[in-house]
Amino acid sequence: MELNPYQERAVTVAGHCTILACPGSGKTRVLSERAARLLANHPKGRLCAVTFTRDAAEELRSRILASCGQEHARRLAVGTFHSLALAQIKRFSRGKPPRLLSEGERLAVLRRCCKQHAPDLPFDDVVQAIDAVKARLAPSPFTDPSLEAVFRSYQDIMESEGAMDFADLLLLSVRRMARGDMPPLPIRWLLVDEAQDMDEVQMEWILLHGRAGAEVTLVGDDDQSLYAFRHALGYAGLREITFALSATETTLPVNYRCAPNILGHAARLIAHNRERAPKRIEAHRQDAGEVHVIRAADRWDEAGQCVDRIRLDGSQWAVLARTNLLLDPVEVCLTEARIPYRRCGGQSVWDRALGATFLGLLRSVLDGAWTGVANALAFCGMPADQVNRLASFPGRDCLERLRAATRHIGSDADGPLIVSLLQGFEAWTTQARMQRHALVIHAVASWLSSHCKPDQARLLGRLEAALAGLSGHLARRLSLVGGSGNRQTPADSVAVMTLHASKGLEFDNVWILGCEDGNLPHTDSTEEDERRLLYVGMTRARHRLILSSAIEEGLESRFLEEAGLA
């Protein structure tokens, strides 16, 4: 892909520069070309490029060196904000630097503090509150005293153990640079990718380098700012840093990815946002794509129509939705249709509570392992302490342990549940030995269904049909749907993911599910954030875009009318 005139101008700007790029205009290409030119034309200066993930950093580094040559590698540093801050702290620390906690260690410490100071608060809410505080330079006071107690206790524990978490890396780096205890990185140029996703601390890290003399270039797309819930500053942050550095602002309006009619509808939608850089988005392509809007009866009808279209078409597809839960029916329908797919960035329907319990119980029928039986008993409502007590009963396999349990459980409330499972298990193992695989699947599903809520029973029925429709022995069927089987599918298989996870990707054909008011836009987010989310999803499509909704779930999304599709 050749750089268009806007990109040529952007990569030759000297000094401080903010580039507001549009989807499909090659943001990473712009950044890597600018880096390569700077290194090639200035043989002594050092350059640092920063982005948000290790994978993105590796890709950026390889692109830069491919353009300018490996001989410049010693003058190039590419990494995430956190990896660069960690190297900076290690280099300038007197004595031993603080130990970096793993994510598991961090959460374990937080759980201890939460149990002590805020046992009644949901743990996820506590983690979110702590993360929000650490994304600010001057954190706002906690509204809940128990949250503040958790935070103080957490920080005291880390200080006493000489440890820090990932958020502390940047905070420590910024505070030391601001006090003059540690110099900024010794670089002439600083390039920042996906700058719309920076939070307040990351922005200050950039500003401290700019004020120290580094020439800063930021590349981002304000219309793709999706992470306000992770404290990203979005367009407001891009404007603030542009003003603080007296930067030159360049807009790249040409989209190379989408067919012009797909881009046109997406551009009409995003134009309703007020907090965005003014730009005229143009399509480089001239060929017309396809855009369709479908209204289905319910979620299963919506998923069925989606999979039918994919089966008939046979080309590259991505299925996107606002939440992971909306993708479950599509995953089940793809399994039934034996269409290879990969669940990207989210938990498979087979790995969540109902699917995992169903598969685990079937595995126990095959190998006699207790884990699947124990999880099934817990799913059916048996208290955890009672389930754990059963594990101490004697027995070489599930049948022997269940028989021992029926002798010891007596008149306990859970007695009928254990007896029914024992009776079922005896029949299932007999049928499995006789190679009656489909019969085992139906029988296990029937027993489990009697302990399900109505919506769970409907989903279980589809899981049962999908598994029974596969060919081969029971062990082979379980391996096909259980986790690793789907991760080994070809790269051109159907991609199933959330709209958030689709950012930065592109596909020939895109189907967006669940376009109803209340879901997209979702009630838990702002309308501008939700509009950006749908805009990102629409602009993943090169040739064909389909947006669907379910009558049972409510009215069509008002975003469809804004996009000129209703």
Binding site for ATP: what residues are annotated?
Answer: 21-28
Burial of residue 475 (number of CB atoms within 10 Å: 0-12, 13-18, 19+): middle
- Find the farthest-apart pair of alpha carbons in the chain and give their distance in angstroms, rounded: 84
Residue 134 to residues 129, 166, 197, 236, 394, Cα–Cα distance (Å): 9, 10, 16, 19, 50
Measured in whole angstroms, how far is the alpha carbon of residue 223 from the centre of its chain? 18
Torsion sign (Cα): 112, 116, 117, 118: positive
CB atoms under 10 Å from CB of 243, counted, come to 11
Q: What is the residue-wise DSSP string for 160-204?
A: HTTEE-HHHHHHHHHHHHHHTSSPPPS-SEEEESSGGG--HHHHH
Pairing mode of beta strands 76-80, 163-164? unpaired
Q: Is the peptide bond before 340 cis (omega within 30 degrees of 0)?
A: no
Q: Give the Cα separation of 233 and 192 in Å (integer).
A: 14
CA atoms within 13 A on the CB side of 169: 18
**DSSP class per residue in 142-155:** PSSHHHHHHHHHHH
DSSP for 289-328 reads -EEEEEEESSHHHHHHHHHHHHHHH-S-EEEEESSGGGGH
Among 360, 420, 422, CA closest to 393: 422
- Report the distance separating Cα 563 and Cα 566, nearest Å: 8
- Binding site residues, as ranges? 21-28
Q: Report the distance separating Cα 486 and Cα 407, nearest Å.
A: 42
Contact 363, 372 (CB under 8 A): yes
Provide the β-strand partners of residue 250.
19
In single-letter form, the type of residue at position 160 comes to S
Query: Tokens in use for 186?
Result: 């010794």
Question: For residue 507, what is the enclosing H or E element?
Answer: strand 507-512
CB 207 within 8 A of CB 200: no
Which residues lie across from 20 on neighbouring strands? 220, 251
